[in-house]
Amino acid sequence: MHRIIALLVCLIVLLAMGLTLGGCGNSSLEQGLRAERAGNEHDAFAAYSAAIASTFMVSNKRSQAYAGRAGIYVERGKLELALKDLDKALQQDAQCEAAYYNRAVLYLLQGKPELAQGDAKRLIELDPQVPAARRLYDLVQKPPAKFTLPLTWMKATKK
């Protein structure tokens, strides 16, 4: 009887630890979003990286962290690292709006408008009511010589 009680206590403790650690990933994501909104790229990057590394992070939240970090990579001109993160974001969640926006921007910056059009189209399919999605979609139809939209979903939507 004492063993059963001890096992139940251990299971409860492990469950509580798991929930706490999972919350850390969500907390890191929220910290990243707040830091990016505030224009603090350094802290946002660190928080997104912590969220990605969190063991208990759910895939759709992890995809947001990958997309956020990729946006910072885009702004830093590290397009290959950004593309890797965006591909991972979309593997985690095929409906991640931020990943489609950021990847379309990346493709435009790389001079690959056909690929940008595909991502912009998918973004419009996911949420046709978002003005940033519509602006991007319109822009990729006839890409200008100089990119004129915000480079990241966060800045484009100001969420």
Residues listed for the chain = 159
Task: Report how many domains make up the chain.
Answer: 1
93 Rama sector, left if φ>0, alpha if ψ -120 to 50, beta otherwise = beta
Please state the rounded mean pLDDT for residues 141-155.
73
Single out the residue of 151, 34, 159 nearest to residue 48, CA to CA: 34
- Choice between 141 and 1, residue whose per-residue pLDDT is larger: 141
- Which residues span the domain enclosing 104? 2-157
- What CATH number does the domain containing 115 carry? 1.25.40.10
Please state the rounded mean pLDDT for residues 35-64.
88
State both tokens at 66. 């990958």
Over its C-alpha atoms, the chain yields an Rg (Å, rounded) of 19
pLDDT (tens digit, 9 = 90+) per residue, 50-72? Answer: 999 987 777 788 999 999 999 99
Confidence of residue 2 (pLDDT cuts 50, 70, 90): low
Question: For residues 119 and 100, is the Cβ–Cβ distance under 8 A?
Answer: yes
